[in-house]
Chains A and B, each alone.
Chain A
Amino acid sequence: MKVRISDDAVALACGADAVAAEFEKAGAEVERVSSWGMHWLEPLADIGGLGYGLVTADQVAAILAGTAPSIGPIEAHPFLARQDRLTFARAGKTRPVSLDDYYATGGWVGLAKARSMGGDAVIQTVLDSGLRGRGGAGFPAGIKWRTVADADGQRKYIVCNADEGDSGTFADRMVMEGDPFMLIEGMAIAGLAVGAQKGFVYIRSEYPHAIAKMTSAVSACARLVAPFEIEIRVGAGAYVCGEETSLLNSLEGKRGEVRAKPPLPAHEGLFGQPTVVNNVLTLAAIPWIMANGSEAYAGYGMGRSRGTMPIQLAGNIKYGGLFETAFGITLGELVNDIGGGTASGRPVRAVQVGGPLGAYHPVSDFNLPFDYEAFTAADGLIGHGGIVVFDDSVNMARQARFAMEFCAAESCGKCTPCRLGSTRGMETIDRIITGENRAENIELITDLCETMKFGSLCALGGFTPYPVMSAINHFPEDFA
């Protein structure tokens, strides 16, 4: 009997290794695969398509005897059946670093097509697909690629930003741990399109499992992507290195300080050479787009947000995990219908969308469609697609204070609004919390947030006002 259990970090953290060992001890053949992304069920055992959730070692005998309750056929589970899995098509189904599994599920088709089309046609395909940068900024990927392709440089680079530091996000980690060849294939296609010889994947040090899987995947497929070369680099615990210019400085061996733009990295990036810096999810979407065509991808989504977004349901949510769907689904559907509300069973009070620099939304925003422009219009952002749910025990003044505290801890120090503003902001919110001149201090923090928003060099200082001001504007009772 073959039992499939994930070896993704969430599964491991929930005890998957002990469960796998128990199945082996009982004589079953255990295959370690990627995670389906139904995290509330991990460790999830898959036996011939039937799922067993929250498995513990002492349930193994009953499962093998057929007397344990099953969640039914995994693929038919409503959480999965409602998704449009393009980037996560292999999730739960393949062994992450098995080249055989990758070939058998359509791997390398996109790269072969790209090689036969040539760079210009590849860029046109990416442009036509409407793919926008999934790291948060939402800049059209094809335009960035075109800029690098047209730039003059002795060398060109593809840099994959895998410094996924936003709380509430884990899709990059799941790609790297679950389907690393897809990311490598995407980078090789990018290299071919813009004429880059070398790629770097900059992975945060908090992701040791992703680092290990990516390292073995890169060496396993080196001959398949040659002459393009990929090197894995590991960060050193700095959130700000997720900002692209700071990441480039870090790769060069410098302090991870933000660079002023212009020059754009596309013109003068890594070591001063034209560089594509793309997020993991952007590059991971490329093989599907190449294999299935730009029209098929652009057929998903709404407005100027085309394709699918791997949305991450996190925090105090009943059914947390990875939900890939076309743009346009509403925040309320995601939190209530799919996520099942809070894990604590208490009412939802606030939802932070887009990581620590994203706005806190009240339940009255639940009709917002998941779309770059719609969230911008509502003074928010979708960022990297993380959704963190809070129940009614949350104190929004404390959350606003934490946003400033986080900015102060992680500021690179290059620009004044972020370096000083975050600490002064923390002090000002402390005064509001203790009831000192509340009205004046709220006016002061509002003014400070304006300065940070428009005066900071990058999104760390520039977007910290989103969580702070959204907390003040939507939850004024917590500041009174």
Chain B
Amino acid sequence: MTALADIIAAHADKEGPLLPILNDVQAVFGYVSEEAVREVAAALNLTRAEVHGVVSFYHDFRKEPETRRIVKLCRAEACQARGVDALLADIGETPRVKIETVYCLGLCSVGPAAMVGENVHARLDAERLTALMASV
């Protein structure tokens, strides 16, 4: 677990280092494991319960690795007004691709919008969303 130790060391001097550490753990490992919770808690002199409480509070942190590719699709009001719900009724998840709901990507004038990794996609219709899901 040197990677975990490196992440902790990289943020140890920050004021309030827990969220930066957990964000990096999630980014590097794809989830925040029980073992990571234990190590982070020990390093920051927190209880495991405190760290678990933080991990479980935020939507970005997974407790299990996700094997499927993830398309984050905005389902907030502006994208609703532009037809995201009808789009989803036509196109569902596949065994390979998980469609995850997010509330707002800040692309509210050109929705429906989605994000894959850090790449953003707008003006989605059935054809474009299908192509996006095939490409990830």
- List the interface of chain A (C-beta within 8 A of B): 9-10, 12-14, 39-40, 42, 164-170, 173, 205-209, 231, 233-239, 250-257, 271, 312-317, 320-321, 343, 352, 356, 386, 388-391, 394, 399, 402, 406, 409-410, 412
Contacts and interface: CB of A to CB of B under 8 A. Distances in A.
Contact of B76 (A233, A321, A356): A356
Contacts, number: 153
Interface residues of B, number: 45
Contacts of A255: 53-54, 57
B120 A389 contact: no
Contact of B113 (A13, A42, A412): A13
A320 B16 CA distance: 39
Given A9-B120, A206-B102, A320-B109, A252 B16 contact: yes
B81 A169 contact: no
A165 B78 contact: no
16 contacts: A9-B120, A13-B120, A39-B109, A40-B110, A42-B110, A164-B104, A167-B78, A167-B104, A235-B60, A237-B102, A239-B103, A252-B16, A314-B111, A356-B103, A386-B108, A389-B81
B103 to A, nearest CB: 6
A9 B106 CA distance: 8
CB-CB nearest 6 A-B residue pairs: A320-B109, A253-B18, A167-B76, A315-B81, A314-B108, A236-B58
Nearest to B105: A206
Contacts of A209: 118, 120
Interface in B76-129: 76-82, 102-111, 113, 115, 118-123
Contacts of A386: 78, 108
A253 B105 contact: no
A252 B17 CA distance: 8
A206 B58 contact: no
B109 A10 contact: yes
Given A170-B107, A236-B23, A256 B57 contact: yes
Contacts of B9: none
Contact of A206 (B80, B106, B121): B106
A250 B109 contact: no
B77 A167 contact: yes
Given A205-B60, A254-B54, A412-B57, 6 more contacts: A234-B23, A236-B19, A236-B60, A256-B58, A315-B77, A356-B77
Q: Is the interface of A mostly helix, strand, loop or mixed?
A: mixed
A252 B53 CA distance: 14
A313 B120 contact: no
Given A14-B123, A238-B58, A251-B16, A167 B103 contact: yes
Contacts of A208: 118
Contacts of A343: 82
B21 to A, nearest CB: 8
Contacts of A165: 103-104
B15 interface: yes
A321 B109 CA distance: 6
Contacts of A231: 14
B22 interface: yes
Contacts of B78: 167-168, 314-315, 386, 388
Nearest to B18: A253
Contacts of A39: 109-110
B65 interface: no
A464 to B, nearest CB: 13
A320 B19 contact: no
Contacts of B122: 10, 13-14
Contacts of B110: 10, 13-14, 39-40, 42, 320
B82 A316 contact: yes
Contacts of B76: 167-168, 356, 406
B60 A237 contact: yes
A170 B109 contact: yes
A170 B74 CA distance: 14
Given A12-B120, A14-B122, A314-B78, A173 B58 contact: no
Nearest to B113: A13
B113 to A, nearest CB: 6
B82 A234 contact: no
A9 to B, nearest CB: 5
A251 B54 CA distance: 12
Contacts of B77: 167-168, 315, 352, 356, 388, 399, 402
Contacts of B57: 238, 255-257, 412
B108 A168 contact: yes
Contacts of B72: 206
Looking at A208, A231, A238, A315, which has the most chain B CB atoms within 10 Å of its CB?
A315
Contact of A236 (B61, B104, B118, B120): B61
A399 B78 CA distance: 11
